Structure formats: C-alpha cells, structure tokens
Amino acid sequence: MCARNSIYTNPKPCKHLADYKLRHGFNTYDSIRNCLKTTPNGRTRVAKHTTKIPRCSFCDRYQGRLYFCLMCSSLWCPSHILLHTQSEKGHEVAIDMDRSELYCCLCCDQVYDPDFDKVVVCNQVKDLPGGSKSKTNSFEASGERSSKRKRLDSGIGLDLKKSELLVSMRDRRAKSCYPLGLRGLNNLGSTCFMNSVLQALLHAPPLRNYFLNDRHNSVQCRKRSGEKLCLLCDIDAISSAMFCGDRTPYTPAHFLYSWWQHSSNLASYEEQDAHEFFISVLDGIHEKESKIRNSGKDDGDCQCIAHRAFSGLLRSDVTCISCGFTSTTYDPCVDISLNMDTSNLSSSNANKPIKPDEKTSVSTLSGCLNLFTRAERLGSDQKLHCQNCQELRDSSKQLSIRRLPLVLCLHIKRVEHSLVRKISRKINQYMQFPFSLDMTPYLSSSIVRSKFGNRIFTFEYDNSNSSAAYEIFAVIAHSGMLESGHYVTYLRLKNQWYKCDDAWISEVDEGIVRASQCYMLFYVQKLLYNKANEDSSFVRISPRRDPFESTAGCS
C-alpha cells in the first residue's frame, strides 16, 4: 500500500523525458503551443493539421489513439510509434492527440510533467470564453485562502483542552462502563425524529465541546435577550443532562416546546422528517445568534455555533454547451442532500453480455457523491442565458465542494416522487457507506482540475492540508415506511458503536451499523475526531450536585 498520506503523489518523469527536457530547456513545448485547441466542453486536443484528417504515418490509420511527435510533428498510431523512435534519434516524447497527455515511446507509457500541464492549462484558460474572468475563478486570490485558515483556527478554538471548567474524573456511577454523554431520550409521542437528531448533534465534537465549555451561558443569555425562549439554552440543558452521569432516560420536554414555538408549522404529534428537523434546529440556533450579535453576515461567515460546525461552501459551474463559457457561483450549505445512485442498477445494463468481476449492483456513498458532483446536462426545457453567446443555450451544470465544514452532514434522499401516480414512496435500497471518508475527489480543486484532463499541474488553491479526511461519528437510520417509520441513532464513541433507540442505549457491533438503512450520516474532520476520542472521561461541574459523591463502581 502507498506509504504516503496524500492522494496526489506527483509521478516523476522517466529518464527519457528528463533527458529530453534537458536537451530542449525552455523551448521543450514551444512546438505545440500553437497547436492546442480547446473544445467547449474543456477537452484540449492537438490540432495541427486542420485540413487533413490525422493519420498514422505508417499505416494510414485514423481511428483510435494517435500520437504527435514533439520533435517532428509526425503522427503515429500506438502500434507503429516505436518504429519512429527507433529510426529517429531523439524523438522519444510524443503527445496523445485526443487527450493532450505526454507519452514516452521507449517506456511505452504515459509520463507527466508539470511544465507541460502548465502549457495546456494556460492555453485552455485562454481559449475558453471569459478567459480573464475564468482566470480569477479558477485561480483564487490568496486573500481567500488566509480567511480559510482563520476558519480552521476557530475550529480548533473549540478544543476541549482550553476549557477551565472541566475536571478530569471518572464517573463511577455508570451502570456499565459506557462513556459519558450516553443517555437515552424519552419519546414524547412520535418524537424519535427529534431524539435521533439530538443524539447526533450533542455528540458532534464541536457542539459537544461548545456546551461543555459553557460557551452558551443560560443566565447571561436570558439577561441579554430578555426572551424566554432560546433553543441554545434548551440544548445546553439537554447537554448538561446527558453528561451529568445520570443514566436514566431524560425527557427533553422543554426543548420540544421551544422548538414548536420556533417551527410552528411542524408542531404536531405526527412523525416528522429528521432532516427537516435538523435544518430547523440549525436555523433556530442561527436566528437567535444573529439577533444577539445584530450581524447581517451571510451564512458563510456567520460565527454562530451551528454555522461554525456545519457550514460549508458549494461551487456550481454552469457551462454553455455551444461556446464553453462557464459561470461560477458559490452557495453556502449546512449539509449535502444526495440522491441515491440507483441508476447503475436499473435495467439499462441488462443487455450487457459480459458481467465484470466487480459488483456494481450495490449503492454506495461514493456512488452518490459521484452522482452529486457529476456534470449534468440540463434538459432542453431548461436553457439558460449564456453571457457569451447572448442567447438561451443548452448547458451543463456541475457541483463541487469549495470549502468543507468541520462536521459534514450527508442526507440520503430516500423519497421517490412519482408524478404519474402523485404519490411519494420510500426507497429502501441498501446503501454502503465507509467509516473513514476522504472527500478530496469531490472538492472544487479536484473537479475543476479534472476539467483540464489528466494533469498534475497544481492549482493555487489545492487543499494540501489533510482537512478532507473525515471519520464517521453518528448514523441516523430509518426503518419502516414513509408515514410510519422509526429513527434510531448509532453513535461511535472511542471506536465502539452504541445504538440510541429513544430511551434505550445499547452497545452494538459495527456490522449492525453497516447493515442499517442509513438516512443521515455525520462525519467530522479526522483531527477533531481523534482529539475528541483521546480523553473524554470528564464530568461537567454542575452547580447543583457534588461531583465527589461516591457511588458504587462498575465492574
């Protein structure tokens, strides 16, 4: 296995390419600078002979891969390029015409060179319409990077170790040696949707630390705002209750009341959607905070705990099919809703005679994320106005993640709407998900990079830090039907999984979790996960109780 941590380990040039570069110095790729042509979809081709059809100089073949010799601009097919190299000394390096990738004829393999990629990328940026504009889109000003660094630091500011209120002490009252913070929540009438989300929120490292560090002081809050209702105060109360060491199930009645006040449209004893509840809670937290601070800051820079933990930035690129002009927009998000990748399993593949060894018939999280970041051609009924063409054109849209949040909430859309029958159906399809997740392939830097083909050229905002590595800490699983189902939360504390089914907490094997029907997945950045799991044997000092009360120990 690869010993290095980073995914992109730049391959070294082969001996032949290195020699070739030495011989030609700065003029290595001058010959092709004027031969590169970029199509609207972003593919860069070598197009020297605009009149003739490119053919192999030996066998006249025009189909399949053709290579363009850097030295003499002759064209060869893969079978005959070796002949050329053997007969002409110094003609070792060629370019795959269709893909603009370097090929070493002696190694019979693809080779990579950042200088070459630079030529290709510059040409592409220049060729596509909105050249100078797209330059600022692709190559972000360094000002934005420093603000990103600031955000990461503020994330570390929620670190446990900075607190002064925590006492390192093991609670001996636990009826088992369950870690602290595990406590059941009573169901108040189809409120499993609420209980499951609360369990996940309270154990999200940034929020857990926030409340345990007493960052939201209820007394001060009431004094400041004068309002009786504050979702944060209620969550703070639940957090204290969860971590106080008492294992009897807790009843979050006051929180439910507060939340009903906030989201009156959802106030009923009916089963609600857990994701909808999650969004409304974050919204409630944000609203309160922005009232206090009187800041009209947009979600991207908001410093309320909800946004500090969950806020990320999505990038949307809309490309005109005709001319290639791309317009880019950024939108903040607190979670990502994914459609399930069931298209691989449909009957469109039924008439394939050969089945590959690998199973492609299972829905996976990476499949869903791939679907999310795939370039999607918008239908002809959704033509958009292209600034370059000055008319309505067919376009394609591609999403990617510009900035990842500290806590990544992935929502799996399991509802299928049938317009014909006007009913909604739940998709019970099993979806496989990993415990360790690398989000690098879904970042804007990766997606945008891939638009230039197979390049190792580094872009300015490549996230070389490891903040794309995530560890799962909570899974909200749903069982049953759309209207009458049940939510449970699986929590991962110190590498042990626990099932939180309303009032009942139990230890479970990771196999159970993997086999569950996931609805919402909660991942946290690996660094925070590791810190959170280092030392969580503490007790919050509650003014009401004596922390040194002796109790029966656990075996």
Q: List the beta bridge partners of residue 493.
A: 496
Q: How many helices (H) and strands (E) does the chain have?
A: 17, 27
Please enumerate in sequence order all residues whose Cβ is within 8 A of that of 390, keeping only pairs 6 or more positions apart, or say none.
none
Query: Does residue number 344 form part of the binding site for another protein (CB under 8 A)?
Result: yes
Residue 3 touches another protein, criterion: CB under 8 A:
no
Q: What are phi and psi of 136, to 5 degrees?
A: -75, -25
Q: Which residues pair with 338 in a beta bridge?
A: 412
Integer Cα distance of 451 and 445 in angstroms: 10
Sign, CA torsion 264/269/275/281: positive
Q: Buried b / exposed e across 242-281, counting CB within 10 Å, b at 16+?
A: bbbbebeebbbeebbebbeebbeeeeeeebbbbbebbbbb
User: Of 138, 40, 39, 58, which is closest to residue 97 (Cα–Cα)?
Assistant: 39
User: Mind telling me the catalytic residues?
Assistant: 192, 486
Compare residues 105 and 185 and give the one whose CB is closer to another protein: 105
In angstroms, the CA 111 to CA 94 distance is 10
User: Segment near another protein (CB under 8 A), from 80-88, 225-233, 426-434, 440-448?
Assistant: 80-88
Q: Does 62 bind another protein (CB under 8 A)?
A: yes
| Backbone angles phi and psi of 508, in degrees to 5 | -135, 160
Taking the complex as a whole, the smallest distance from the CB of residue 516 to another protein amounts, in Å, to 25
Q: How far is the CB of 352 from another protein (least distance, A)?
A: 5
Question: What is the sign, positive or negative, of the torsion defined by CA atoms of 6, 529, 278, 410?
Answer: positive
Stretch that binds another protein, among 59-67, 252-260, 509-517, 542-550 (CB under 8 A): 59-67
Considering only the stretches 76-84, 191-199, 312-320, 426-434, report the one whose residues sit in contact with another protein under the rule CB under 8 A: 76-84
**CB-count burial class (<10 Å; 0-12, 13-18, 19+) for 381:** exposed
Query: How many chain residues interact with another protein (CB under 8 A)?
Result: 33
Radius of gyration of the chain (CA): 28
Q: Which of 21, 24, 31, 78 binds another protein (CB under 8 A)?
A: 78
Backbone φ and ψ for 430, nearest 5 degrees, come out as -70, 140
Out of 6, 41, 154, 217, point to the residue binding another protein (CB under 8 A): 41
Q: Which of residues 6-25 bind another protein (CB under 8 A)?
A: none
- Are 442 and 372 in contact, with CB atoms under 8 Å apart? yes
Q: Are 360 and 288 in contact (CB under 8 A)?
A: no
Distance CA 103, CA 111 (A): 6
39 near another protein, judged by CB under 8 A: yes
Q: How far is the CB of 109 from another protein (least distance, A)?
A: 4
Asked whether the beta carbons of 266 and 274 are under 8 A apart, the reply is: no
Minimum separation from the CB atom of position 271 to another protein (A): 35
Nearer to another protein, 321 or 508 (CB): 321
By beta-carbon proximity to another protein, the closer residue of 395 and 467 is: 395
257 in contact with another protein (CB under 8 A): no
Which residue type does 218 have?
S
Per CB under 8 A, 108 contacts another protein:
yes
CB closer to another protein out of 47 and 188: 47
249 binds another protein (CB under 8 A): no
Least separation in angstroms between residue 21's CB and another protein is 20
Q: What SS3 class is residue 516? A: coil
Please identify, among the stretches 27-35, 355-363, 513-521, 537-545, the one whose residues bind another protein according to the rule CB under 8 A. 355-363
Q: One symbol per residue from 109 to 128: x for binding another protein (CB under 8 A), - otherwise; what is it? A: xx------------------
Min CB(345)–another protein separation in Å: 9
Is residue 509 near another protein by the rule CB under 8 A?
Answer: no
Among 164, 358, 483, 546, binds another protein (CB under 8 A): 358
User: Is residue 349 within the footprint of another protein (CB under 8 A)?
Assistant: yes
Residues that bind another protein (CB under 8 A): 39, 41, 53, 58-60, 62-63, 65, 78, 80, 83, 86-87, 103, 107-110, 343-344, 348-349, 351-354, 356-358, 360, 374, 377
